[in-house]
Amino acid sequence: MASPREFKFTSGGKEYIDKTIKILTPAFHQDPVFAWLLHKCPIPKLLSRLFRALFKQASLNKAILVEVDDFSCCGILIPPGARLDNPWTMLRAGLIPALVYLGPGPLKRAIFDYQESIQFPIEKVFTVEELKNHWYVFIMGTSVDHRRQGFASALLAHMQERAKSDGRPIWLEATTVQSRALYLKHGFEAVGEVVLGIGKVGPDGMPKKSGKGVSIWPMFWRP
């Protein structure tokens, strides 16, 4: 297996964003959190448009792209001190127009509901200094044709080595029981369970009256 490689989005620009979208759009096609976000099946056209704005925003906040085996698996790592809730980079990335295009519901759920849901868990386990300076796994996924080959483990281990270099913790949110199992295997600890969309969507993220909602698991790891 080839060793993971890092790229700064600023040096590759659109080319790296295009490659990342190509891998992660089908990988997250049935992800319950994105279904909840959109309140409909996250079809490729909608998901790729949202990803383009999100990844552009990440690139404007010094994101690091990590890939394994020629983009069989890839992920976006946000370095300590960078802030994805920076309103200026949201505007520059076109995130607001993208969410407005998708509708006011996704706009509210992405910017307010999701972020508010993880605020208490992260404040519960991180010190004031760690809140300001920690690594954040924004997203990671494996090509549907290359799963169960150890690529995600290699990617995550590389990110952990990156964090070890400066002694900073890593934060992420697992959105499926499968991804939670992967992170637990690599020493991450879950900070409870957060349920989104209670009474509005089912476990698959699709609209459902009196639905139980979608679960995510905030998690952290310290060197």
Compute the distance between CA of residue 187 and CA of residue 31 in angstroms, rounded to an integer.
Answer: 23
The band of 89, judged by pLDDT with boundaries at 50, 70 and 90, is low
Q: How far apart are CA 82 and CA 109, in angstroms?
A: 22
Cα–Cα distance, 5 to 15 (Å, whole number):
15
pLDDT in tens, 109-155: 877 788 889 999 999 999 999 999 999 999 999 988 888 888 999 99
Bigger pLDDT: 219 vs 10: 219
Query: Residue 196 — very low, low, confident or very high, per pLDDT cuts 50/70/90?
Result: very high
Q: What is the pLDDT of residue 170?
A: 98
CA pair distance 8, 76, nearest whole angstrom: 10
Q: Which domains does the chain have, with CATH numbers?
A: 5-221 (3.40.630.30)
pLDDT of residue 91: 60
Residue with tokens 């972020």, as numbered in its chain: 115
More confident residue, 61 or 162: 162
Query: Is this model's pTM higher than 0.85 or not?
Result: yes
**Coil, helix or strand for 58?**
helix
The count of C-alpha atoms lying within 13 angstroms of the C-alpha of 123, restricted to the half-sphere facing its C-beta, is 6
At 11-68, the pLDDT tens digits run 556 788 888 899 899 888 888 998 898 876 667 778 888 888 888 888 888 889 999 9
Question: CA dist 123 to 96, 131, 183, 195, 219, Å?
Answer: 27, 7, 20, 18, 12
Beta-strand ranges (E) seen in 11-146 are: 64-68, 73-78, 135-142
Q: What percent of the chain has pLDDT over 70?
A: 87
Average confidence (pLDDT) over 98-111 = 72
Residues 68-84 have a mean pLDDT of 89
Please give the pLDDT value at position 62: 85
Sequence-distant (6+) residues with CB within 8 A of 41 are: 30, 35, 206
